[in-house]
Amino acid sequence: MREEIRDIERLNHILDAINVLIDNKDKHSLEEMASDAIVFYGFVKHVEIIGEAVYMLTKEYRDTHPEVEWSTIERMRHVLVHGYYKIRPIQLWETIQTDIPELKPKIEKLIAEFYK
């Protein structure tokens, strides 16, 4: 069962995973990531964590913060978990290089709102 009190915890999980991705995205090239299963699935796992934490946010919280594309993030998680055999490295790479850095300030802002 999802609980409102846990929304802040989920946001912190999202931010933690974002930080891991950002801290590591420039340590590897696309080719290195695609050819090293441990590195590849390490990146996949952190994107999955973001998606799972989004999935666990309360509907009420997500509905009151439409500035984040929650459903897009959740769909990405479903693809990574259930379609693991057809993950395209370039799509994962683009998500990590572009979407994740754009998501970070939005999540930081939402976390800050809990402490106002």
Split at pLDDT 50, 70, 90, the class of 85 is: confident
CB 17 within 8 A of CB 49: yes
Predicted confidence at residue 84, as pLDDT, reads: 84
Q: Does the pLDDT of residue 1 top 60, yes or no?
A: no
Q: Does the pLDDT of residue 4 top 60, yes or no?
A: no
Range 63-101 burial, b when 16+ CB lie within 10 A, else e: eebeebebeebbebbebbeeeeeebeeeebbebbeebbe
* CA proximity to 100, closest of 8, 37, 23: 23
Higher pLDDT, 114 or 48: 48
- Give me the active site residues, please: 77, 82
CB 34 within 8 A of CB 89: yes
Neighbours of 110 (CB within 10 A): 19
